[in-house]
């Protein structure tokens, strides 16, 4: 897994730990995590089952890495074609969870300014843009665009420019 950084002399590939380490001036770490981990874990279970069959077709994967990823993840989640067929089984509870969180986007997640929690939340959700016909509510779309602008993140720009 990449990226990897040394934190206190030990290698780490935890994305949020890396962001926190690189966050000059502690700009993003304002506020407690609270129940953030619980929310992210619940989101992750639905998002991963919903998105994995489609993520393997994004530019990060070549044929060999795609085959490896599909074989590895299919052992725990089931065959990707079956996951795609069960899409509504994952999408309905995900949409319910998103609806419960939506009121907390003020304009960031329980904050007036972007925090590390927003990066965690948005990073769980970006992959859903690769899922055909998945639609975010207007509030969620606007939130993700605010996070994108703050982070200067251009999700698969190279991929979409080729389309």
Per-residue pLDDT of the chain (163 residues; tens, 9 = 90+): 456 778 888 887 776 677 677 665 555 565 555 677 788 889 999 999 999 999 999 888 899 999 999 999 999 999 999 999 999 999 999 999 999 999 999 999 988 999 888 988 998 899 899 999 999 999 999 999 999 999 887 766 665 565 5
How far, in Å, CA of 127 to CA of 54, rounded? Answer: 9
Q: Structure pTM?
A: 0.78
Give the tokens for residue 23: 């966050």
3-state secondary structure of 109: strand
Angle at alpha carbon of residue 147, lines to 37 and 21, rounded to 5°? 60
Q: What is the enclosing helix (H) or strand (E) of 101?
A: helix 87-102
Domains present along the chain, CATH in parentheses: 32-162 (1.20.1050)
């Amino acid at each position: 897994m990449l990226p990897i950084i040394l934190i206190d002399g030990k290698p780490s590939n935890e994305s949020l730990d890396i962001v926190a380490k690189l966050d000059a001036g502690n700009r993003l770490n304002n506020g407690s995590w609270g129940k953030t981990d619980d929310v992210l874990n619940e989101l992750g279970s639905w998002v991963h089952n919903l998105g994995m069959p489609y993520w393997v077709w994004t530019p990060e994967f070549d044929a060999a890495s795609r085959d490896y990823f599909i074989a590895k993840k299919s052992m725990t989640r089931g065959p990707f074609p079956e996951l795609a067929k069960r899409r509504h089984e994952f999408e309905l509870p995900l949409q319910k969870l998103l609806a419960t969180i939506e009121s907390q986007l003020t304009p960031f997640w329980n904050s007036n300014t972007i925090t590390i929690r927003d990066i965690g939340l948005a990073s769980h959700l970006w992959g859903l843009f690769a899922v055909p016909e998945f639609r975010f509510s207007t509030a969620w779309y606007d939130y993700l665009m605010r996070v994108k602008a703050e982070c200067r993140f251009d999700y698969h720009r190279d991929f979409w420019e080729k389309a």
